[in-house]
Structure 1
Amino acid sequence: MLYSKFLTSLVLQDQVRTETYKNAILQHQSHIKGKVVLDVGCGTGILSIFCAQAGAKRVYAVDASEIAMQAERVVKANNLSDRIVVLNGRVEDVQINGMVDVIVSEWMGYMLLYESMLGSVIFARDRWLKPGGLILPSHAVLYMAPVTYPDRYAESIDFWRNVYGVDTKQCAFEEPCVETISGENVLTWPHEVKNVDCYTITVKELESVTTRFKLQSMMKAPLHGFAFWFDVEFNGPAKTNPSSSHPRKRSRPDDALVLSTAPGDPYTHWQQTLVYFDDPVEVEKDQVIDGSATLTQCKENNRFMDIHLEYA
């Protein structure tokens, strides 16, 4: 419970995250006012309250953890119990009366998909969202790039090479590291791993994501591993051509709100996710780094991922 409260505090103190969601809800107020909203994974209920303040007729705030009880207290303290209904349970299990006009969710996990709730958002979309309804955020893109990080590598990796005379470096590579890096640490232009359209993506697509990359180093430096980060956008549904069975290619509107976790952008609690190598690899300026990455859901728990990297 203490750990849950710590995470909640960490998220609420993420000013970039919270202000972007608030601005997105206000930007789409015309789609929210007088409508029914479903908040998937509501936490303390802050996004539900933003929607109610934007004029939502009814908000269903759903969370499977005990934090739902705290959300209920927050809703009551803000005199919104007549419009916000807090439901303690998985969105896959709760009962909602009728369809909803809007789904809002802060579903993103580290590295976008690790411990994410995107599967629950997809379920809610297919079960309750009216045709033409709004999903916030609407789109997401996962990126990766090779990085050089000598100081941190020495601290977090070299330490394990000699622990009281024992080489335990394997411990350093069992899991990725969540850290903050700058643009100066990134060796190449970013590579797009996965583009997520929340209006159309399926659960099947999340089971395994594979991408091939061919990147050119912008400097001579030791390559210590790869970093992953993501952007999410808050747009309306993509329009389709009635005479075509295929959606029209989406282009980002000029006024699109974007929440970015990229290196060098304002800090968020997601930071960046780094996968370190056992040993650094020296690369030259303009040298090509070629390879592939596969992210696979764990069979034991589909919110966890196995990462397989190949590079040359």
Structure 2
Amino acid sequence: MAQEGYAAANGIGCLQDGKPPDETDNANYFCEYAFLYHQMDMLEDEHRTGSYFNAIAWNPDSFKDKVVLDVGAGSGILSIFAAKAGAKEVFAVEATDMAVRSRKIIQAQGLSHIIKVVQGTVETVTLPYMVDVIISEWMGYFLLRESMLDSVLIARDRFLKPGGALFPSHATLFLAPVGSAKACREKQQTFDGERQHFDDFNDAMTNYYGSDFSCMRGEFLEEQRKYYLQTGMFVNLTPKQLASGGSPLLEIDLLRITVEDLKDVEKPLTCSMRPHFVERLSSRGRIQREKERRISKDTQLEGFTGYFNVMFRGSPQNPTKEVIELTTAPTAGTATHWGQQLFGFFPPLQAKSGDVLECRLRIKRQKKNHRLLQLEAAFTLGSEGNVREKREDTWYVD
């Protein structure tokens, strides 16, 4: 459909607030972003906020005299960056009551004549015309938790001009095997303690009240296993804790991917983790990759971790001159509010020198809350066709 026809069919031609999120989604997700403390937590992440600032401020030609849409604007900081970079007009769309506060913040900067705050979900607001650039900080734990990317893609399809740019433009999800992980050992110890906890509980119920709960032991341990052993942990790892460099599992071009692509999990993602590259953060916020041998000796793999990078490249018609990369990789001295997600192998895998860890993984959305993730993974450890260990399990990103 031509953009003009699309605009007419979708009521583009006036600026209108949209609908708030439904009560369930607000309780599960949006309400948290209405609090200043949460916005401050994100703003105080210097690598996050600084990367967005650099991507916008160092590429003024990508914003000068452009119309910009900020999806999930929160405090309005990205809108402020865009306006200061020379944007002609900025629509800051925010679903929560943080929109009221962002208006005050924007007014205090003297930018109300450029930035228009629109309250409502981006799926329901109406803009007067199409935009040249969409900016958004949509990434969640393990890149895709929160499913906010859905909203960015819907905004792209509703409002972005042909040839328009998204900031960020690309994203990559990485997996890496973890050697030493104290958090995994602590989780195993706690889970083991729950076995005794239930037995003590059942003895007390039997002795004092004549009620035997032993029929529930299996279900109790299944609950506890999911909580302690199958749910991802927020961590800030160091490069030394990795048994290999990260391997790309999923690469996303935001101009091309669709919401349907994100929901289609029939084909598993695959990656191989082997002696690879170690990622280090340079002084200008870029990733430097250095060769370093890993799984070069017999070692124990206590888990695997997931993290992501996003790139600010603009679009083919509106490319950036300075390409900025924001990474959440385990790097010495730099941590983000995303950290990494750590998933344990219980018991650990025993790796030999020269081994390769192959992974097949499906990323699904949890049925009870579509913003949370369920990972169905199969790992194979070995070398040159000699498979020594296999591990299949389900892990959760809550």
In 1, the alpha carbon distance for the partners of 2:313 and 2:271 equals 28
Q: Tell me, yes or no, if the aligned pair for 2:60 and 2:86 is still in contact at 8 Å.
A: yes
Distance 1:68 1:238 in 2: 32
Aligned twin of 1:244: none
- Is 1:61 aligned with 2:92? yes
Letter of the structure 1 residue corresponding to residue 162 of structure 2: P
**One of 223, 237, 240 as aligned partner of 1:181:** 237
Match of 1:214 among 267, 272, 278: 272
Residue matched to 2:328: 261
Structure 2 counterpart of 1:226: 304
* Amino acid paired to 2:247: H
Moved over 4 A (4+): 252-255
Q: Counterpart of 2:300 in 1: which secondary structure?
A: strand
Pair 1:141-2:148 in alignment: no
2:314 match: secondary structure? coil
> How far did residue 174 of structure 1 move?
4.1
Q: 2:105 aligns with which of 74, 78, 85?
A: 74
Separation in structure 2 between the aligned mates of residue 290 and residue 119 of structure 1, nearest angstrom: 29
**How many angstroms does 1:83 deviate by?**
1.2
For 2:242, give the aligned amino acid: V
> 1:261 is matched by which residue type in structure 2?
T
- Pair 1:115 & 2:146 matched: yes
Report the secondary structure of 1:122's partner residue.
Answer: helix
Amino acid at match of 1:123: I
- 2:66 and 2:89 in contact (8 A); partners too: yes
Deviation at 1:5, TM superposition (A): 3.3
Do 2:62 and 2:320's aligned partners in 1 also have CA atoms closer than 8 Å? no
Identity %: 36
Contact 1:149 1:185 in 2 (8 A): yes
Pairs aligned (count): 300
Indicate whether 1:102 and 2:170 are aligned: no
After superposing the two structures, state which structure 1 stretch, 143-152 or 52-61, moved more.
143-152
Structure 1 residues 18 and 73, CA gap change in structure 2 (3 angstroms): same
- Determine the C-alpha separation between the residues in 1 that align with 2:189 and 2:367: 32
1:305 Cα shift? Answer: 1.5
Distance 1:160 1:29 in 2: 53
Deviation of 1:154 (Å): 2.5
Counterpart of 1:249? Answer: none
State the one-letter code of the partner of 1:295: I
The one-letter amino acid of 1:273's match is: Q
Q: Unpaired runs of 5+ in structure 2?
A: 1-30, 199-220, 275-294, 380-389, 391-398
**In the alignment, is the contact (CA less than 8 A) between 1:51 and 1:59 conserved in 2?**
yes
Contact 2:175 2:246 (C-alpha < 8 Å) held by counterparts: yes
> Secondary structure of the residue that 1:95 maps to in structure 2?
coil
Tell me how far apart the structure 1 counterparts of residues 32 and 340 of structure 2 sit (CA, whole Å).
25
Give the letter for the 2:337 counterpart.
Answer: H
Which has the larger share of helix? Answer: 2
Of 37, 50, 57, the residue aligned with 1:6 is: 37
Cα shift at 1:8? 1.5
- Partners of 1:68 and 1:87 within 8 A in 2: yes
The corresponding residue for 1:198 is 254
Matched letter for residue 44 of structure 2? Q
Compute the RMSD of aligned alpha carbons. 2.2
Q: Distance in 1 between matches of 2:320 and 2:296?
A: 30
* Among candidates 109, 113, 119, match of residue 88 of structure 1: 119
Matched residues in 1 for 2:229 and 2:102: separation? 37
Match of 1:303 in 2: 371
1:280 — aligned with what? Answer: 348
For 1:56 and 1:253, how far apart are their aligned partners in 2? 15
Deviation at 1:302, TM superposition (A): 3.2
